[in-house]
């Protein structure tokens, strides 16, 4: 498979994931953004100002890690492009990044608390057992980008009053971690309604 064919496949994978994010109701209007690292080190990212359910391969933009647009589209790159690029620069092993505003993750992020209670195996296996929460940082800024890039987490971070960011070795793993994080936040919310003391998974 040629480099061009690999990039086209990545474009299709990003669109598929973007449509799934939209169908799940984890973005509204033009919220959220997704990206993937190409074999040559460039990054493909969703455009700004577009509902993720309407993203198509030709609308994605290709950029260098420094933010130079290599393959432009009719729309500008996501306003959170600095955050995605900062993650890729800080974590050479990362191949995909997903940012959503899913309801339960936003709810938990608004509490401004790190997620540490291991109530499911997914929390351990997919999220590394710990998801920190950053304080509110202005959207689309270098401050937010560096905050996310420097966070001590294997898989994800919550953004207070904003949303969540997950990453993985490829876009599929990042998307799986998005699902796992939202499910965990939902389960944690339910358990807080049901129990005075949340039962925690005990691992030997």
Residue pointed to by tokens 């207070």: 160
* DSSP 8-state code for residue 139: T
Q: H or E stretch including 134?
A: strand 133-134
Reduce the DSSP state of residue 111 to 3 states and report it.
coil
The pair of three-digit structure tokens given for residue 152, joined into one six-digit string? 């001590």
Beta bridge partners of 165: 99, 157
98 beta partners: 34, 166
Taking the CB of residue 131, how many other CB atoms lie within 10 A of it?
28
Among the listed residues 13, 62, 80, 173, the single catalytic one is: 80
Question: How many other C-beta atoms are found inside a 10 Å radius of the C-beta of residue 142?
Answer: 12
Q: Is 151 left (phi over 0), alpha (psi -120 to 50) or beta?
A: beta
197 assigned to active site: no
For residues 177, 181, 183, 188, the Cα torsion angle rounded to the nearest 10 degrees is 150
Q: Count of CB atoms within 10 A of residue 77's CB?
A: 25
Catalytic residue numbers read 80
């Amino acid at each position: 498979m040629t480099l061009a064919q690999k990039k086209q496949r990545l474009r299709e994978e990003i669109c598929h994931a973007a449509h799934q994010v939209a169908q799940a109701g984890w973005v509204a209007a033009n919220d959220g953004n997704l990206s993937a690292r190409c074999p040559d080190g460039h990054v493909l990212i969703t455009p700004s100002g577009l509902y993720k359910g309407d993203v198509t391969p030709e609308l994605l933009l290709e950029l260098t890690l420094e933010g130079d647009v290599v393959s432009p589209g009719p729309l500008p790159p996501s306003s959170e492009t600095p955050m995605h690029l900062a993650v890729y620069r800080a974590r050479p092993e990362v191949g995909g990044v997903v940012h959503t505003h899913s309801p339960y993750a936003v709810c938990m992020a608004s509490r401004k608390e790190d997620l540490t209670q291991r109530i499911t195996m997914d929390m351990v296996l997919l999220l590394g057992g710990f998801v920190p929460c950053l304080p509110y940082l202005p959207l689309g800024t270098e401050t937010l980008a560096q905050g996310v890039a420097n966070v001590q987490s294997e898989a994800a971070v919550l953004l207070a009053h904003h949303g969540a960011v997950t990453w993985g070795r490829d876009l599929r793993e990042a998307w799986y971690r998005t699902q796992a994080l939202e499910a965990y936040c939902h389960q944690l919310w339910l358990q807080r309604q049901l129990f005075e003391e949340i039962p925690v998974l005990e691992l030997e």
